[in-house]
Structure 1
Amino acid sequence: MENSKVLVVGGTGYIGRRIVRASLAHGHRTFILMRPEIGLNIDKLQLLLSFKAQGALLVEASMEDHRSLVAAVKQVDVVVSAISGRHFLLQIKLVEAIKEAGNIKLLKTTVTMKCRAAFLPSEFGIDPARMGHALEPGRITFDEKMEIRRAIEEASIPHTYVSANCFAAFFVPNLSQMRTLLPPKEKVHVYGDGNVKVIFMDEDDVATYTIKSIDDPRALNKTIYLRPPENILSQNELIAKWEKLSGEVLERIPIPSDEFLASMEEGTDITNQMAVGHFHHIFYEGCSTNFDIGEDGEEASLLYPEVRCTRMEDYMKRYL
């Protein structure tokens, strides 16, 4: 089967730029949605131009202009969204454009039987379908993702959801400490007993698995869970890896669950409140690992054993 024509929405963002690179590396004809306002951001504009030099095609369209979105979608087989969390609900406009364009929806009914996922919405974290119990105010991100899912499925648009769990840069070098991205120097706060298993993913690997899934019939209308066994670690194991690499021994300060949740009430910073809720679900409840993948999902490292995932000890080495 010939390679897909892929439209990346949010291609200058943190994960979006990696998806663009992965799409180009896998030989797909790669289109990037270029919003009019991008011309005012010199860094993002230069990034887009560098992608263009590598063979990507820039497609001018606006999330506020339905006709331009439809025209962009009509040029491709697959839409991959990497829209940031503040703008999740804008993807409703993408769903409407994909539905009207019609060409993507019909891919599964043509005589060529191209088994492609037509739309991969921006998720890439914890599976929102398993987070109906999530704490306020952080649950809004899961609720909005589920709203997008419902719109996709009600429109009968072929899709794949990618659950990538915890991006390494935000959770690994800092040993999962809040309010910093750098390794701690003398002490480290441990959530509960520190033994809850968590899944950490190199962001480039997330992009590779995402692009691998778009032409795979096994991923069609399913959730792809990124769970490489070597990267399923407890916080204690993560700390031990850093101590071995750095030669330093850190003082471990345990934080009981109730004490950690109480910090949510400190001040009115909604970003902090959301982060506390997410950290509690991840490091106390084990929400990335406390379930079995059912028939509606697939495990990426089993589907694509050829992908050599970055181990977290190797990811940490750049911080020495």
Structure 2
Amino acid sequence: MQTVGCLIFDGVRVFDYAVISEVWSARPSRPELPAFDLRICGPDESRVRLGGGLERLPDHGPDVLLDCDLVVVPGVEDPQGCRAPEVLDAVRAVHARGIPVASLCTGAFVLAEAGLLDGRHVTTHWMLAAELARRHPAVQVDPDVLFTGDGEVWTSAGVAAGIDLCLHLIRSAHGQQAAAAVAREMVTAPFRAGGQAQFIPSPVPEESDRDDPLAVVRSAVLASLETPWTVGQLAKLAMMSERSFARRFTEATGTSPLRWLLEQRVLTAQRLLEETDLLVDEIAVRCGFGSAVSLRPAFVRRVGVAPREYRRAFRR
């Protein structure tokens, strides 16, 4: 995957276009990276009005997309609008040729309108997931993941998740080192675990608020993750009944106390795997899992790979 086509048209989001341009830009000074050939294509080679009042003259017409290894569709400013027939025809032609197609953020609405997403598991920005599902009932919309795909069609969640998908596509085609090098040059993380749920607003108090009993509990737990905490012990710290504590904690954080605790333990394990030479067993004890055997299934469920694999890929 070295020849990448970017389809631009009126109303494309500038950020998404910039992400595609940055990720797959030519880097002659970095011979260790794949020699990407990014082709900016428009439906009729005429000047395109991007979001924010910017304009861009495509370098190629839509036929060039048919010679690419991958075609990426940026998000659009107005996801509920209708796309020009030539835009949809270009996307359909690429897909019919068997070329993988990826969309960033609201670009999923363009792929759905072209009929590429029917029966597929897809995502888009969490604020627009319900609208995508309403407009296209045959599409299986998952508002929780950062990106998803089946090798033929890929979709990503909002804004920065487009970077995640682009790096994933590089990682899949060219390996972890290539993706990590591009990410390092862009000053971004090569891999972000978790899904969109972590970005949906929830009224989480600042940890420094010592007048908030829930903030006191969270601070105490984070300072002593090796402790085998129970909901009863956490409720006692907050000076509440278990039932009241569990209810208030869930209202404040959007998750249960034990789920939050498990999340913090795995996050800390990730950091220690990246930044220290501690044995996995020692990391497991420090994070409250007791042993590497107990850490592994929880880590795999959240991150998708085993702790040792994660360390090999992301050890700094």
TM class by smaller structure? 0.3 to 0.5
TM-score in terms of structure 1 length: 0.37
Identify, as 1 or 2, the structure richer in strand: 1
Higher gyration radius (CA)? 2
The structure whose RCO (Cα within 8 Å, separation 6+) is larger is 1
